[in-house]
Amino acid sequence: YFSDHPLSPYRSLIEARRLADTARVRESKDGAELVLIGMVASIKTITDRNGRPMAFVTLEDFAGSVEGVTFADLYERNRAALVQGAILETRARVSVREDEDPKLVFQTIRAIAAGDTSPAQAVHIDLTEAPGNVSLEMLRDLLSRHPGESPVYFHVRSESNTAKTQIRARRLLVRLSDELVSELKARLGERAVSLVHGEREAVPF
C-alpha cells in the first residue's frame, strides 16, 4: 500500500480487544476458534452440492492473509457484507490439513462500519442464566481485577416481574480479554455472558 493500510483506522479497536490475527491462525491447531478483523481481499462464489451459493473469502490484515469458507446459510445471511474491500469481524474455526495452509471456516460475520472504531464493547452478564449461588461480591472482585474501558451490564429479574431489567455498573469498566471472558463463563455458564457493541443509559450499581 502506498498509503496507510485500510485497517489502520481499526488498529486501536483490534489491539484493545486483543483479537487474533492471520499470524495466529497459522500457529493454531485444528478446531481452534478465533475472532479477528480483516479486509476482504478477494471473494470467489461457487454453488454447493445442493445448488446454493457459498463463498471462499480471503481476509487480509497487518500480518498477512488467510482463506476462509463461508457456507450457504451464513453466506445468504451476509451476502451484502461479503464484497471486496469490506472490513469484517468474524468468528471462525481453524481447519488444518496435512500439506496445506491453515484455513478458516467462518461461523459468524459482522460488517464494520467506517466509523465503528471504538474499543468500548460492552460485557453483558445475565444473572437469570447464572447459578443461584453466584455472589455479586465475587463478580465485583473478578471484574475489578481487569480494569479497562469497556462497560459492564447486569441483567436481572425481580420476583414480581417476569421481564428482565438491564443495569449498568457505572463504576466498573473492564479490559476485555480471553482470560476474563473464559473466567466469567466458567463461573456463570456460557449463556450468562455475552459481548455487545454499543452502550445504554447508565444506572447506578
DSSP 102: -
Q: For residue 84, what are the β-bridge partners?
A: none
Q: Are residues 157 and 87 in the same domain?
A: no
pTM for this predicted structure: 0.57
Note down the domain range covering 181.
122-196
CATH code assigned at 68: 2.40.50.140
In the chain, count H helices and then E strands.
5, 9
Q: Which of 87, 111, 135 is the last residue of a domain?
A: 111
CA distance 60 to 68: 11
Reference 139, options 83, 81, 185; nearest CA is 185
pLDDT in tens, the chain (205 residues): 545 788 888 887 787 777 899 999 999 999 999 999 999 999 999 999 999 999 999 999 999 999 999 999 999 999 999 999 999 989 999 999 988 999 999 999 988 876 555 555 788 999 999 998 888 889 999 998 888 778 899 998 866 666 778 888 877 888 777 788 889 999 999 889 988 765 443 333 3
d(CA 154, CA 158): 13
Q: Give the whole-angstrom CA distance, residue 13 versus residue 49.
A: 39
Pair (55, 146) in one structural domain: no
162 inside domain: yes
Residue 122: all three cell numbers together? 460492552
Are 30 and 68 within one domain? yes
